[in-house]
Structure 1
Amino acid sequence: MAHFPAGEHDLDSVLAANRAWAARVAAEDPNFFHELARGQHPKILWIGCSDSRVPPSEICDLHPGSLFVHRNIANVCPHSDTNLLSVVQYAVQELKVEHIVVAGHYGCGGVNAAMDPHQHNGAIDDWLMHVRDVYHAHRKQLAAVPHEVRANLLVEVNVAKSVLNLAHTSIVQSAWARGQKVVIHGWVYQLEDGILKDLGLRIDGLDKIDEEYRLCTAEE
């Protein structure tokens, strides 16, 4: 794995490493890039944090083309985010992904910032209001645990909220109504050991969400 020292030639090093990687992959499988150029057929939509320490394909040890990816600060899934919804719609309707994974990570700077009312981060404060809403909704549960583990619990609760938000979208529910397989999962990545933790969240149909959130009951 290449590590690039800070300096004015950083980007030259990145381009050189890219050429070396492409040559190595082509030598191992001469048809790899030709097949990849013909189209993508991922089975997984990955919604994760923008943190540079959590690169999806690398931590899952998957080749290019295996994951369709959307990332934002603190891996939140608000219903008002048209960027996110466009990604989900394309992944579900066009690519026919079978799994949507919301992947948070412990030590998330966005989650930590959302817990601190004294931090002022400019425009990011508006985005982190989504996480602060989760914090407020679960404040009693979070206050009941020691301070040193509170941030980790909020990471997990924030993932759970994003999983539910995705299940509440008309995009996913329409797919279920059509009989399409779409399963939403919640995972958390552990920076200390590189392991993905399955939180046991699995939503695969209308029967798994509360009735007031059920928007689609028949094929549209």
Structure 2
Amino acid sequence: MKHLRTTASAVFVAAALLFTAMPAQAAEAIEAGPDSPANQSANAEQVYVLDENDAVTQNGQTFYPAPPETQDMHVIMPDVAEDLGINNIGALNREKSRQVEQQLASATTAEDDAPTTMASNASWTSISVYANGHYGPWTNRSRSIQGSHGTRWTPQWATTNDLLAGNMCAQAIGWDYLYSWGGYGYYERQIHMGCVSGRNSVPWGNVSAYPQLRMTNISTWAGLARFQ
């Protein structure tokens, strides 16, 4: 029995010495990623509201200056913020961000949830189609998209007018974060969608904005269509 106690003590001492001799950097090998709960709770600013007064427009396209850190935040376009009654501009604190996110959850849609049929009139937005290759006015979809990194919008359109069907083409608005006008920010891109519904998409990213489309008919007929 005495021999067993002596052996156990020796093992304990050896283990203690081994632990003491371990390199200090071994305890520092694991670093929390940017999406870890610890870092998320430390980041008090989660939502950023763009200021309409900062917008720069050239050739019909708009640029909103915004600092680089907004790429890791949820960015809200001014018209969406106005419709939701959000009066704050810039980065919102954690409590206000949580309130805004709740508002957006009930007032916007994720692109993956967008309907794909004309069964519900409420899910489609009416749009004017001009004739002879001339585009009609830009039209906002009735519900905004709450985007995230990698989000893209794929417009779909349809009509019950046989004179328009098969001859409609569209342009859509997408959003990119890039360098322009002497600084970084969110740039509105006008992109040709072609003449086949649901074939092409536009970049969207981490913004909440209203999808916009404008349409033309390559024949001599004008009329109304719907898009989502």
TM-score under structure 1 length normalisation: 0.26
Q: Of Structure 1 and Structure 2, which has the larger fraction of its residues in helix?
A: 1
The structure, 1 or 2, with the larger RCO (C-alpha pairs under 8 Å, 6+ apart) is 2
When Rg is computed on C-alpha atoms for both structures, the one with the higher figure is 2
TM-score under structure 2 length normalisation: 0.26
